[in-house]
Amino acid sequence: MNELDTPTYRLAVAQFDQAAEALNLDPNLRQRLKLPQRSLIVSIPVRMDNGTVEVFTGYRVQHDSSRGPSKGGIRYHPDVNLGEVAALAMWMTWKCALAGLPYGGAKGGVKVAPKKLSRSELQRLTRRYAAEIFPLIGPDKDVPAPDVGTDAQVMAWIMDTYSQQVGYAVQGVVTGKPLSIGGSLGREEATGRGVVYVTMEALRHLKMDIERTTVAIQGFGNVGSNTALIMQEVGAKVVAVSDVSGGIYNAKGLDVPELLRRYRTNGQTLRDTKMGDFLTNEELLQLDCTVLVPAALSEQISEKNAAKLRCRILAEGANGPTTLEADRILIDKGIFIIPDILANSGGVIVSYFEWVQDAQRFFWKAKDIQERLHEIITNAFHRTLSFALAKKTTMRMAALMSGIDKVAQAHLQRGLYP
Ligand code: NAD
């Protein structure tokens, strides 16, 4: 399928091939799991505020549903394409299996620059997209969530559009919703919190002290900003953050709550906040720091810059931030990598809690959510670490192999239909 053949999809397949080889995976399963189960491409006509109609392209890809309904975010970004969405869906399958969640993987996206739309255009686009993918989604079928360029408001519009079609409120059709319509406490910060929890386990494993840890974060959206806040809460020093416009560096440590206040409330760029020296995204990645957290887009660390990285731990908040070639370079440099499907799984873990709470119509306290997230993600970290040490392999390979093996077991036990 030519439309799948993009750099991000090639990366996901190359990772899968390596893990499948190491697992000696059944060749029939390999053929199946390399491809999505279902891919839907939709045209989304939207009446713009000036009266014209623009047609956007959207996607929803379900990679696998052998272990339960498929689950995965929706991305609004001008570079969205079928191959990227399919790669992200595949990673979701391994991520859910690795964390032991009863889900398969999916992903969706619309090729659009959301910041260029007015709020009402964004709402019309979202509602029409939701109506077009309506046949695929549902609380028992496929459950979307926020990703790059989407948020709780977008999820609320999808929940409402779906509910209007069926005639009653269906809270469990999406996660990452506002609290007023069945969202969960702790969901917004969940991915960042998970990044911090696994980083703390990695520091413990490497016998390093959180109080002497410096952190640089690329991307200051949902994942990046919450990682920064919680890193500071647990005692680490956040020395640099960036967004698409570049970043700031402060060797003494940034005051993250104050930075966020200026960034969000006053609508300043990171540079405008004057809380640190300006630096480019490339310079941020090459900073001398304990922990580097890529929390923006994929393939940011490639063979071009991998040799220049100076962190001790790479905690992959983003999906697919490291290319295959870069991965080899980082391993040779002795950088401890917490791979994406483990490091950023806090989001889908708390999404799972949200879906369970919606199904039960019974909502949990923030403390319960944090404790359960901590238990699931730190267990996943230690299982992966033990596997990696026992098999003398990398954390990435260990995480992929564990996830893929669970999915393979489900397929083999269910058998081939018909
Ligand atoms: P977001 O839209 O909230 O934030 C993205 C951030 O990246 C923004 O600060 C943006 O300015 C920055 N950015 C965009 N292009 C950039 C570039 N070229 N260079 C540097 N920075 C750039 O998105 P998010 O939800 O925080 O997601 C970030 C990453 O984390 C994505 O890879 C996403 O798939 C992954 N992820 C998100 C979640 C979640 O719960 N939101 C869960 C797991 C993984």
Instruction: Choose, from 34, 71, 95, 107, the residue flagged as catalytic.
Output: 107
With a 6 Å cutoff on the Cβ, whether 194 touches ligand 1 is no
The question of whether 141 is a catalytic residue gets the answer no
Residue 240 is encoded by which pair of tokens? 């640099």
Q: What are the residues whose beta carbons fall under 8 Å from the beta carbon of 379, sequence distance 6 or more? A: none
Q: Which amino acid is at 172?
A: G
Ligand 1 contact via 351 beta carbon (within 6 Å): no
Mutate to test the pocket of ligand 1, among 98, 143, 154, 191 (most ligand atoms within 8 A of CB): 191
Decide: 242 in ligand 1 pocket, CB within 6 A: yes
Within 13 Å, how many C-alpha atoms sit on residue 123's CB side?
8
Ligand 1 pocket test: pick from 95, 143, 148 the residue with the most ligand atoms within 8 Å of its Cβ: 148
From residue 255, alpha-carbon distances to 137, 219, 230, 311, 375 in Å are 41, 17, 12, 21, 29
Whether pTM exceeds 0.95: yes
Residue with tokens 């974060």: 217
DSSP 51: S
Q: What distance in angstroms lies between residue 247's CA and the mean position of ligand 1's atoms?
A: 14
Distance CA 145, CA 163 (A): 16
Span from the CA of 364 to the centroid of ligand 1 (angstroms)? 27
Residue spans of alpha helices (H) in 24-173: 27-33, 82-99, 119-133, 152-166
Which pLDDT score is estimated for 265?
A: 86
The closest residue, in CA terms, to atom 30 on ligand 1 is 318
pLDDT digit of tens for each residue in the chain (418 aa)?
Answer: 589 999 999 999 999 999 999 999 999 999 999 999 999 999 999 999 999 999 999 999 999 999 999 999 999 999 999 999 999 999 999 999 999 999 999 999 999 999 999 999 999 999 999 999 999 999 999 999 999 999 999 999 999 999 999 999 999 999 999 999 999 999 999 999 999 999 999 999 999 999 999 999 999 999 999 999 999 999 999 999 999 999 999 999 999 999 999 999 888 899 999 999 999 999 999 999 999 999 999 999 999 999 999 999 999 999 999 999 999 999 999 999 999 999 999 999 999 999 999 999 999 999 999 999 999 999 999 999 999 999 999 999 999 999 999 999 999 999 999 9
* Residue among 5, 393, 354 nearest 176 (CA): 354
